[in-house]
Structure 1
Amino acid sequence: MKFAMDKTDKRIIKVLVSLTVMFLSLAVYLSYFQMFRAAEIVKSSYNKRLWASEESVLRGSILDRNGTVLAYSEKGENGQARRYPFGRLYSHVIGYSYREYGKSGLENSYNSYLVNASRNPLEEIAQKITGPSENGNKLVLTIDHELQKKAQKHLSGKKGSIILMNPKTGEIYAMVSNPDFNPANLGESWAEIVEDEESPLLNRSTMGLYAPGSVFKIITATAALENSLGAGYDCKGSIVIDGYELRDYGGKAHGRVDIKKAMEVSCNSAFASLGLELGEDALRGEAEKYMFNEKIPFDLKTKNSVFPAGRMSKAELGATAIGQGKVLVTPLNMLLAVSTIANGGEMVEPHIVKEVVSADGKTIMSIEPKTLKTVTDSLTAQAISEMMVGVVQSGTGKNARIRSVKVAGKTGTAENESEKEHAWFVGFAPADDPDVAVVVVLENMGSTGGASAAPIARDMMTGYFSRK
């Protein structure tokens, strides 16, 4: 009898241990989701509680920094309808929200705020007691509506991106990508949009990957100065590396140049030579300090800029140092790079949402400036800034000059798979105390950055100063 009791006790103990392990596993599993994946789950289109919130709560409005209403909802006989009064203008920033087609842009990333959905257990319990709010929260953006319109006008009939940002705070004043689409009549044109080979749904500002061309020389120059390189080069209009010829634009020979002059005239021969002196590891390390191969934290979806993995040949390294070869960059990443120089070597985190405000006017969340990382020291940043001033005053970026304002900039003309080059300009002003930075990339423009992109950048910065 004693033996039978012992066996029973052992079985009971085994069951209790198993139940305890299962309970602890469940607690750990739920804690993991609450701590690390709660935000993801709240945003998920499969979250049925969120669907219920969207049906019962009037979706919050989205406003620019000055109070202009950019998106709003209104109730009708068949439920609520989302309105986009400016059509295409904010197609990639605000995006769209439709039950049939899902969500994109800020409508997706800030969905839980817009429908005032609970984001933690305490909020959820409170909502069960008091009932859900009838109105969602408002998003106030950093965007300036007038500057956004100006950027869209400049991209009319072109492919590419324009972004305007404060390099000290990370506030985005304008962000336009083209081709675009009209979220106001998405149902009528959805099939046409998704089949369009020009990819109008793609936000080129944050997810377009481009050969950077000579704007990448900012990164090469940073590495060169940090390694005390760049004293002098003899430019003959081209350089041959292991049998591969890299030509300067138009085959122009610049003669004897140091790094400052090489930046002003955008000398490929000098910068390719610099790349060889630096070596692959140093150049890759510098690019990664500038956020290549790393996710940029932002309110909208982003793609990683690419500095290629694996060992390069000398010819590939020379091409990479001038922004050709396999190196690819997003316009947003290039804007952060030039803003880092403007900000004395400190890279700030970009943001396009200024604050979240409840229906009764209370601030729920306010986004403050945040430093992402220190990329380089202030002396190096100052030296590159002075080189970029030379680019605009007497080099390839003369078309970006603004009367009575000192502008720093860099042009780029990037070869790619097509027969027409991308035209780039990145810059900031006033050069001595910058409060605006700009990136312009014109896809397959077939002309130089100095000729096509620099005048647009100038007008965007002038527009900003007129709005201050």
Structure 2
Amino acid sequence: MNTNKRIILSLIAISVLFFSLIAYLTYFEIFTKDQIVSNSYNQRLSEYEDAVLRGNIYDRNGTIIAYSEREGEEAEQKRIYPYENTYSHIIGYSSKTYGKALLEASYNKYLLNINELRPVIDLKNQITGQTSKGNNLYLTIDHELQSLGQELLGENKGAIVVMNPKTGEILAMVSKPDYNPNSATLEKNWTSIVESENTPLLPRATQGLYPPGSTFKTVVASAAIENGLGDTTFEDKGVTTIGGKEIKNYGAKAYGNINLEEALTYSSNVAFAELGVALGDGDLRRLSEKLLFNQSIDFEISLKKSYFPSKKLNKSEQAVTAYGQGELLVTPLHMAMMVSTIANDGIMMKPILVKNITGFTGTEGKPQELSTVMSAKTANEVTSMMESVVNKGTGKNAAISGVQVAGKTGTAENNTDKSHAWFIGFAPADDPQIAVAVILENSGSTGGESAAPLARWMMQQALK
């Protein structure tokens, strides 16, 4: 091999190595850097956390709901959650032993002020010798509303989500059972918490998947209107058989000859089962796509995908899906987004939990449209039907004196002998400011009996 060939091969080898290094560094910077920086096994991060006082977290009105303190410059800092369990499924925890969860994890680099201009090497202010301070988070949550939701759920399993339907801002998001995230209590009770059959670490509002029951009839009604079936009438005898499956109304009650509004008002399974078959697999599937089923929804903490069956639905499956049963599963937050869509003239907004971060421009939670599910005209028609549900139907317990409320109850069968109780709604119906979703897991009661009164209290407080 002559000298020129050897030089060329050497240059090629060096170039390959050089570009491989560039490719790796680019990949690291884009895909893995944040993961490694925030990894609890990263010793440099651990040292950094010892030296940086973690930023505070506030509600939308400036109430402090998480902060850090240390008694001396060299003392270990403590993360304090003054309201204990109230925010355990929003803020999560920050523990040297068990790591971080929820907002404490997803906003870790902001709370510690880690960024490209200030890498994880500057442990102390070189001039003053003072401990550095992280950035503060301001949430969209209203502390009074969150506290009320915590009180109303009591010992029940379930979730309450309250949001502004026009902006997507989350005003309250409560999940039960919960836990105390303060380090001493968390470490003392960790084994019993993780082994509990009640799964108190599970944030049910964002990670719980439930059949929506009759609350899903609201969006199926919108699909019917959009597909020219809004004037359909039904002969409801209390029971029907579709595709070999017997379908009954609650208590097998018969409503006779009814239209779509009456079917929603009295929550007729028979009518909506027939409507599901009339819409068919194609229209039901298109509805699920507009509602973002089986899709990841960008949110500040992990949000499970709501589930719509991927296989083609036969007639009996179309029927049960139309009244919120079968294989259909939703998170309470997604259900709040769906009812907010009706309140917001058919447009689904991105949910927002973090309002802004001090010291970081461009991090403000700005309203963002996710999906146009229905026309404004259709949304207004469904709103009118939902007003009827509260005025004279199954949702009377959600009525507020002097305020017109639009809502829908749901009683969802599941794999236990106790049904889930649902209520979704918004107020005022003519200019919606507040939307709410309530689920009481395995309550064994109807949504109108047990979930609607909780929604009423939450809407009343929010409208104040």
Q: For 1:246 and 1:163, locate their aligned partners in 2 and report how far apart those are by CA, in whole Å.
A: 31
Q: For 2:381 and 2:34, locate their aligned partners in 1 and report how far apart those are by CA, in whole Å.
A: 43
Question: Which stretch has the larger CA shift, 413-422 or 381-390?
Answer: 381-390
Paired amino acid for 1:438: V
Deviations 1:279-320 (A, max 9, x none): 112102201211110112111111111101112232122111
Percent identical: 52
Paired amino acid for 1:179: P
Q: Does 1:340 find its partner at 2:341?
A: yes
Q: Does 1:451 find its partner at 2:449?
A: yes
Paired amino acid for 2:119: E
Aligned to 1:206: 206
Q: For 1:276 and 1:459, locate their aligned partners in 2 and report how far apart those are by CA, in whole Å.
A: 37
Q: For 2:217 and 2:18, locate their aligned partners in 1 and report how far apart those are by CA, in whole Å.
A: 58
SS at match of 1:229: coil
Judge conservation of contact 1:222–1:286 (CA < 8 Å) in 2: no
Q: For 1:410 and 1:42, locate their aligned partners in 2 and report how far apart those are by CA, in whole Å.
A: 46
Q: Does 1:64 find its partner at 2:59?
A: yes
Shift of 1:40: 4.0
Q: Does 1:371 find its partner at 2:379?
A: no
Instruction: Give the counterpart of 1:417 among 409, 415, 426.
Output: 415
Judge conservation of contact 1:217–1:322 (CA < 8 Å) in 2: yes
Judge conservation of contact 1:339–1:428 (CA < 8 Å) in 2: yes
Aligned to 1:264: 265
Cα pair distance change 1:254/1:346, threshold 3 Å: same
Paired amino acid for 2:217: K
Q: For 1:36 and 1:341, locate their aligned partners in 2 and report how far apart those are by CA, in whole Å.
A: 37
Aligned to 2:188: 188
User: TM-score if structure 1 supplies the norm length?
Assistant: 0.93
Q: For 1:341 and 1:232, locate their aligned partners in 2 and report how far apart those are by CA, in whole Å.
A: 23
Aligned to 1:106: 103
Paired amino acid for 1:457: A
Judge conservation of contact 1:356–1:364 (CA < 8 Å) in 2: no
Q: For 1:383 and 1:197, locate their aligned partners in 2 and report how far apart those are by CA, in whole Å.
A: 43
Question: Which stretch has the larger CA shift, 377-386 or 442-451?
Answer: 377-386
Question: Which stretch has the larger CA shift, 29-38 or 165-174?
Answer: 29-38
Aligned to 2:113: 116
Q: For 2:166 and 2:31, locate their aligned partners in 1 and report how far apart those are by CA, in whole Å.
A: 30
Paired amino acid for 2:225: L
SS at match of 1:366: coil
SS at match of 1:420: coil
Q: For 1:328 and 1:208, locate their aligned partners in 2 and report how far apart those are by CA, in whole Å.
A: 9
Aligned to 2:227: 227
Judge conservation of contact 2:140–2:169 (CA < 8 Å) in 1: yes
Aligned to 2:148: 150
SS at match of 2:65: strand
Q: For 1:46 and 1:18, locate their aligned partners in 2 and report how far apart those are by CA, in whole Å.
A: 36
Q: For 1:348 and 1:26, locate their aligned partners in 2 and report how far apart those are by CA, in whole Å.
A: 42
Q: For 1:458 and 1:124, locate their aligned partners in 2 and report how far apart those are by CA, in whole Å.
A: 49
Q: For 1:215 and 1:175, locate their aligned partners in 2 and report how far apart those are by CA, in whole Å.
A: 19
Q: Does 1:27 find its partner at 2:25?
A: no
Judge conservation of contact 1:357–1:364 (CA < 8 Å) in 2: no
Q: Does 1:314 find its partner at 2:325?
A: no
Question: Which stretch has the larger CA shift, 18-27 or 347-356?
Answer: 18-27
Q: For 2:362 and 2:133, locate their aligned partners in 1 and report how far apart those are by CA, in whole Å.
A: 14
Aligned to 2:48: 53
Q: For 1:173 and 1:354, locate their aligned partners in 2 and report how far apart those are by CA, in whole Å.
A: 11
Shift of 1:33: 3.3
SS at match of 1:406: coil
SS at match of 1:461: helix
Count of matched residue positions in the alignment of Structure 1 and Structure 2: 456
Question: Which stretch has the larger CA shift, 309-318 or 237-246?
Answer: 309-318
Deviations 1:36-94 (A, max 9, x none): 45444443334444323212100011111111111111113641111111111111111
Deviations 1:128-167 (A, max 9, x none): 9976970011111111111111001111110000011101
Paired amino acid for 1:71: A
Superposed counterparts of 1:294-309, under 5 Å: 294-309=295-310
Aligned to 2:380: 382
SS at match of 1:298: coil
Q: For 1:130 and 1:181, locate their aligned partners in 2 and report how far apart those are by CA, in whole Å.
A: 36
Judge conservation of contact 1:142–1:352 (CA < 8 Å) in 2: yes
SS at match of 2:77: strand
Shift of 1:198: 0.7
Aligned to 1:284: 285
Judge conservation of contact 1:424–1:449 (CA < 8 Å) in 2: yes
Judge conservation of contact 1:143–1:352 (CA < 8 Å) in 2: yes
Q: For 1:193 and 1:171, locate their aligned partners in 2 and report how far apart those are by CA, in whole Å.
A: 30
Unaligned runs of 5+ in 2: none
Shift of 1:13: 1.4
Shift of 1:27: 1.4
Judge conservation of contact 1:331–1:439 (CA < 8 Å) in 2: yes
SS at match of 1:124: coil
Judge conservation of contact 1:58–1:136 (CA < 8 Å) in 2: yes
SS at match of 2:388: helix
Cα pair distance change 1:55/1:62, threshold 3 Å: same
Q: For 2:36 and 2:18, locate their aligned partners in 1 and report how far apart those are by CA, in whole Å.
A: 22
Instruction: Give the counterpart of 2:85 among 85, 88, 92.
Output: 88
Unaligned runs of 5+ in 1: none
Q: For 1:133 and 1:74, locate their aligned partners in 2 and report how far apart those are by CA, in whole Å.
A: 11
Q: Aligned-residue CA RMSD in angstroms?
A: 1.9
SS at match of 1:76: coil
Judge conservation of contact 1:116–1:133 (CA < 8 Å) in 2: no
Aligned to 1:43: 38
Paired amino acid for 1:55: D
Aligned to 2:255: 254
Paired amino acid for 1:454: A
Shift of 1:330: 0.3
Question: Which stretch has the larger CA shift, 303-312 or 18-27?
Answer: 18-27
